[in-house]
Structure 1
């Protein structure tokens, strides 16, 4: 590839983000698309270009009867060397990382503010707040002071959970994936999330910019910032806001931004106008007080004299500038003023009628009426309301057109934005379509962004499809009674895939409540609808619940047969590696219940291969745990300890303490079986430590294990047995289960611990 083509590839910010993420580990196109919030087909195309350029390499693997392509970074550094008459490009193996820049605003004309930049860069506080009136230059100042910061723009429509996900993805790009892994596992404990966020920022020394905090209406965001201000020792959170936010004083520095100093304003005047008389500048500075946007608008206007002193100064200036706009510029400004969010260029091409988009947009940018935020463009806040007043456009059709554009981006975040615009137009006829899209393409929304999605749903008018979505969020939160009431109220008004979803959820709900007969009734209704719709995804939902029902009912052989049907429909529905791996685990679990451990092992290994090929970390480590159990029951303690250790380390890292303890328990008994007593003692003490922090019952097995270890060393383990029995006195069934497992690795008759008393 020639040098010109290579530089063109590297000039693409999207390509640089892909290379940045691949510098942390190998990934497949789907995962990259999710992290970058881009369409998977676009990411796949870019990967092929990067591969052809020799920057990445892709390898095919065969997993579960499917071809899987994984991409990894081929060169970690490129050097361009200039010699007389020739240019050489060299690549060699060295690590580097490049932060994501998705929402970073561009910095165009910038003058002055040297004192403020130096002040911000030298502060030791964890949270820096820049506040001041609209248009004063807060965002531009922070972007200039912290050019490598990761940006999060607050719109007021999403909850703090959206910030957690974006920060987690950013930290993963820097090699710290613990936060995003915890969120992907369904973790929602705020204290744990805050600790993982703090550790991620500290360990990477990252800077995160939170723009327009004044638009935030989620108290959780303020708790996050207060926590980081008090606890974070490295890294920075930089906030912009129109008002001074209530973050307290500990660990927070506040900078109130005022207008430009006279010499700075004069330099801006020269840049914008080329020349200005002392009298004109003095009058301009007097009435604007150095406000950057006001100065820009003033220099764009042609009026002079008494009109400068009008009471509604900004409105007057905008009117003057507006008169000088061409018709295409006015039309584009009117369309853009309908939106509070930044609008992508590709979307503007749809919304703007006719040709001439680029010159019109470029002119509005130069005039200061429009600003670029990341990959989008937005009308400046001070201008938007005036622009709306001068425009006769109705937002409805534009909102729906933009929603259609967002739905094509094929990401959960874009889906939520699209849904919000449809709700704003009150296009109730589209609610069925959107909820169907959610079920087929974005099922994870109710788990990953429950607060944001619920807020959008609550703004919609009463509608059975909206109510069913609310119920699913409540179900995922454990509010079974509320979910049940909503579903029962609206299920008969639903149709298609939405009704199928509700029926299978009701069956699951009644299985959880151990109301087996009710569960059977809804399963039967679900089966009839699956036959009617004949859609693989609907069949998959039905058969998964049927497997669970048969297992609960003690019909294990039938449950196994049903689980194999799950696998069939998962592949027909192209449900994705995570779902297919889950089904493989179901098969393995049922085979294990039938004491067919060798067969179970085969399906667990298939699930492991599938998860590792697609980097499905959480499911992979669930699989490691199941493999540890299988190997343990087969008496293969070496393999059991290996997989149990991997699972335990992962679950500890993502703060999933229940699963961590489950994994540690099999690790300790396997180590006891191997007579690796020092290692076993260390892990048993870790179990006790977790128990003291979480009170999770199985943690107290650590005391029993410590007692056994002492006895095997020829010592008295009585004090540990006593502690273990005391903690488990209300859970004798668990004590018996622990003893049963220990009986597989030691002779309990030689250890005086068999009595419950």
Structure 2
């Protein structure tokens, strides 16, 4: 996870153990001894003193105080843009601060001071937490949501991060969770450079914030009005920044330490129309040369040519190289990335010089040419070969650095460089190392694959196979199984022709999963069995991850068709593989799968043992999603064992966890199960409330387990003498569940018992015949 040297991590864990933050113990997992580390405290309180930081480590029982001497600049890292000099703008500051409106739109031409104004405002007028995001042309909505979730996580709210990890939770639910926490905090959200946005969904998200935020403040910075922003004067303060007035121009000359006659300052103001950056460039020229000569040149040249000559001719060779690279790449670059392209030790000092001259902007940890400089810059005549070399070197540096964002950027730059082989190598690594996190940025990744496909030369079958496979994964991630299946068959055919056994096995695994989803069980079984046979012939370290996936998909298939003997056999094989993979999550997930299959088979004592073990591991790993699901499986186990109070405790824990994650389908299932438990405990009012809530939730998430809630509610109606209404609900619930054999037995046994009790003998016999015809192996 940390992508750090094991020795370094071990050393740091020992340090944490010494100060009491973590404890460790050895456990036996499968055939391995594994050291498990666990957080040892409930709370950390930090206060600043003259000698350093006072850190209080709190548990429920006691408080331990530690004095840790630490450089505060490393702790208090602020990502709001710096404001080295701020000239006036008192009127605009007063409007922002006193308007009483929580949506503020700042527009104006490049370099006019929009970002500087807002940065000064939040640094000097705002006490609440501030989130600042500068939009770039390849941002996606997913990236912004992850950044917002990370921001909230830093404030102690970890639910949004957990929720974003869930693939079965509706995007609208995730956004609502973020919005509710943001609004409750009354924080300030700043989106800068909205005019660069290429993803329409980001604009729709911003519009949603505008419509729904009530306490938090939203500040939007853009050259023009965003297209999707509704400009309701009652809700939005719209400020269009113009150039400095004459008084502010005088202040700028004074701040820059240059004394000139009033006529020169007035002429400067008239020529630049008070544009701050152009004034800075002109002041620099007036400082170096005779003012009369400067204004003489201005008369004889057009303004862009004059300002560009004033900038470029005065730069050193290395400064010109920096401008050349930033002009070619266009995207913001970090210092490390720039050093890959311009290997100079003093590069940071050169960048500071360019920032001081107003040529380069420092955005968080990155550097980019100022928009005004881009607008006056002539064509630098950089050759295509040189441009491709820059893109290629940057792509290699980013991919070597690792991490999903860096790797996707590397793919983008390889595509821009026209280096198809380098781009395909990234796709090959993604398949072999099972890097599914690329799909977290679905639209951005889909665009990259589309752009790559456009530059692939004819008859390049290797590239064609990988691209078709990635397109199938994108289709599956979007829920379009019908589109994915033909792409998978096409990719499979080419991979087989090329003799790529690992890729053939992986494609067969994904195809088997897709065919299972469309209930084509025979062909799904053929694909998975062929993949398992083939993967055994592969002699590569990465084969275990793909082999594990094949058995996981096969276990899912056997569970769907109701052959629980084979499902158990396959999960045990999955467990053998997981024990060899150096990742605790694979092992814990397999134990969870095993517990689930054993529960369905009614081997309840063993199911309880494996599920409890997986629950402990998920708690250690910190996977709240699987913690919630493990409690849900334990609920089924104790319900079948007739330990109803235990079942109720676990379903409550499951609901508490899953509600925080807004895991809609699983919340519905937990509510439906709890309604059944409440009915069995004789708590009819609670049973009715849960079943009604589950049915209402089922209108949004479309999950078949709503059938449980309908059957429970129908049984309550029958108990209350509402026969017609009750029987209709029961029939509707059965229709929801009828294709899911393994989930039918428990609820139908409950239903048959109560139908007989209430005198509905014909209906009871019908549902008995359903159970008898399920053909479950155990």
Aligned-pair CA distance for 1:705? 3.7
Q: Matched residues in 2 for 1:406 and 1:171: separation? A: 27
Cα distance change, pair 702–475 in 1 and its aligned pair in 2 (3 A): closer
1:603-614 alignment, distance < 5 Å? 603-614=610-621
Matched residue, 2:636: 629
Matched residue, 1:413: 405
CA contact (8 A) 2:638 2:644 kept: yes
Aligned-pair CA distance for 1:472? 0.9
Aligned-pair CA distance for 1:553? 5.8
Q: Matched residues in 2 for 1:723 and 1:705: separation? A: 12
Cα distance change, pair 575–604 in 1 and its aligned pair in 2 (3 A): same
Matched residue, 1:129: 105
Number of residue pairs aligned between Structure 1 and Structure 2: 710
Matched residue, 1:560: 568
Q: Match of 2:143, SS? A: helix
Q: Matched residues in 2 for 1:230 and 1:163: separation? A: 18
Matched, 1:78 2:85: no
1:210-229 alignment, distance < 5 Å? 210-229=191-210
1:640-655 alignment, distance < 5 Å? 640-655=647-662
2:21 is matched with which residue: 57, 65, 71? 57
Matched residue, 1:5: none
Q: Matched residues in 2 for 1:512 and 1:49: separation? A: 44
> 1:22-64 CA deviation, whole Å, 9 max, x = no partner?
xxxxxxxx4xx6xxxxx55699769939956998823335564
Q: Matched residues in 2 for 1:317 and 1:289: separation? A: 14
Aligned-pair CA distance for 1:448? 1.7
Q: Matched residues in 2 for 1:209 and 1:754: separation? A: 65
> 1:473-503 CA deviation, whole Å, 9 max, x = no partner?
1022222232222222233434364443222
2:347 is matched with which residue: 354, 357, 366? 357
Q: Matched residues in 2 for 1:391 and 1:431: separation? A: 27
Moved more, 41-50 or 366-375: 41-50
Matched, 1:186 2:167: yes
Gaps of 5+ in 2: 60-73, 124-128, 457-462, 765-778
Q: Match of 1:662, SS? A: helix
Aligned-pair CA distance for 1:670? 2.2
Cα distance change, pair 723–490 in 1 and its aligned pair in 2 (3 A): closer
Aligned-pair CA distance for 1:596? 0.7
Moved more, 321-330 or 123-132: 123-132
Matched, 1:584 2:591: yes
CA contact (8 A) 2:112 2:242 kept: yes
Q: Matched residues in 2 for 1:676 and 1:221: separation? A: 46
Matched residue, 1:207: 188
Matched residue, 1:263: 247
Aligned-pair CA distance for 1:248? 1.2
Aligned-pair CA distance for 1:119? 1.9
Cα distance change, pair 725–335 in 1 and its aligned pair in 2 (3 A): same
Matched residue, 2:362: 372
Cα distance change, pair 544–187 in 1 and its aligned pair in 2 (3 A): closer
CA contact (8 A) 1:721 1:753 kept: no
> 1:592-640 CA deviation, whole Å, 9 max, x = no partner?
2322111111111121111111111212211111111112111222221
1:157 is matched with which residue: 117, 123, 138? 138
> 1:241-285 CA deviation, whole Å, 9 max, x = no partner?
111112112333321111123222322222334433322221211
* CA-atom RMSD in angstroms: 3.5
Q: Matched residues in 2 for 1:120 and 1:243: separation? A: 18
CA contact (8 A) 2:678 2:686 kept: yes
Cα distance change, pair 309–160 in 1 and its aligned pair in 2 (3 A): farther
Q: Matched residues in 2 for 1:73 and 1:297: separation? A: 55
Matched residue, 1:402: 394
1:519 is matched with which residue: 524, 527, 530? 524
Matched, 1:249 2:241: no
Q: Match of 1:210, SS? A: strand
Cα distance change, pair 449–354 in 1 and its aligned pair in 2 (3 A): closer
CA contact (8 A) 1:344 1:377 kept: yes
Aligned-pair CA distance for 1:231? 1.8
Q: Matched residues in 2 for 1:575 and 1:53: separation? A: 22
Moved more, 624-633 or 262-271: 262-271
Matched residue, 1:231: 212
> 1:63-114 CA deviation, whole Å, 9 max, x = no partner?
6453333456864122314xxxxx575444799xx99977532222222222
Q: Matched residues in 2 for 1:471 and 1:732: separation? A: 29
CA contact (8 A) 2:105 2:239 kept: yes
After TM superposition, the score normalised by the length of structure 2 is: 0.82
Cα distance change, pair 222–352 in 1 and its aligned pair in 2 (3 A): same
Q: Match of 2:260, SS? A: coil
> 1:504-531 CA deviation, whole Å, 9 max, x = no partner?
1112222223333433443344235413
Aligned-pair CA distance for 1:429? 0.6
After TM superposition, the score normalised by the length of structure 1 is: 0.85
Cα distance change, pair 483–701 in 1 and its aligned pair in 2 (3 A): closer
1:482-501 alignment, distance < 5 Å? 482-494=483-495, 495=500, 497-501=502-506
Q: Matched residues in 1 for 2:630 and 2:13: separation? A: 35
1:430-441 alignment, distance < 5 Å? 430-440=422-432
1:79-94 alignment, distance < 5 Å? 79-81=48-50, 87=51, 90-92=54-56
CA contact (8 A) 2:399 2:410 kept: yes
Aligned-pair CA distance for 1:294? 1.1
1:325 is matched with which residue: 292, 315, 323? 315
Q: Matched residues in 2 for 1:726 and 1:708: separation? A: 11
Q: Matched residues in 1 for 2:220 and 2:18: separation? A: 40
> 1:542-572 CA deviation, whole Å, 9 max, x = no partner?
3223333444565533432321222232343
Cα distance change, pair 681–508 in 1 and its aligned pair in 2 (3 A): closer
Q: Matched residues in 2 for 1:396 and 1:557: separation? A: 57
Q: Matched residues in 1 for 2:714 and 2:194: separation? A: 55
Q: Matched residues in 2 for 1:143 and 1:42: separation? A: 40
Cα distance change, pair 508–89 in 1 and its aligned pair in 2 (3 A): closer
Q: Match of 1:338, SS? A: helix
Matched, 1:429 2:398: no
Matched residue, 2:460: none
Moved more, 552-561 or 236-245: 552-561
1:8-87 alignment, distance < 5 Å? 30=1, 48=12, 57-60=21-24, 64=29, 66-71=34-39, 75-81=44-50, 87=51
Matched residue, 1:615: 622
Q: Match of 1:449, SS? A: helix
CA contact (8 A) 2:131 2:188 kept: yes
Q: Matched residues in 2 for 1:287 and 1:341: separation? A: 31
CA contact (8 A) 2:671 2:691 kept: yes
Matched, 1:142 2:118: yes
Matched residue, 2:66: none
1:533 is matched with which residue: 529, 534, 538? 538
Moved more, 439-448 or 210-219: 439-448
Cα distance change, pair 529–650 in 1 and its aligned pair in 2 (3 A): same
1:109 is matched with which residue: 73, 76, 85? 85
Cα distance change, pair 47–668 in 1 and its aligned pair in 2 (3 A): farther
Q: Match of 2:329, SS? A: coil
Gaps of 5+ in 1: 1-29, 34-38, 82-86
Matched residue, 1:22: none
1:175 is matched with which residue: 135, 145, 156? 156
Matched residue, 1:24: none
Cα distance change, pair 402–68 in 1 and its aligned pair in 2 (3 A): farther
Q: Matched residues in 2 for 1:457 and 1:724: separation? A: 47
Q: Matched residues in 1 for 2:578 and 2:737: separation? A: 40
Matched, 1:279 2:263: yes
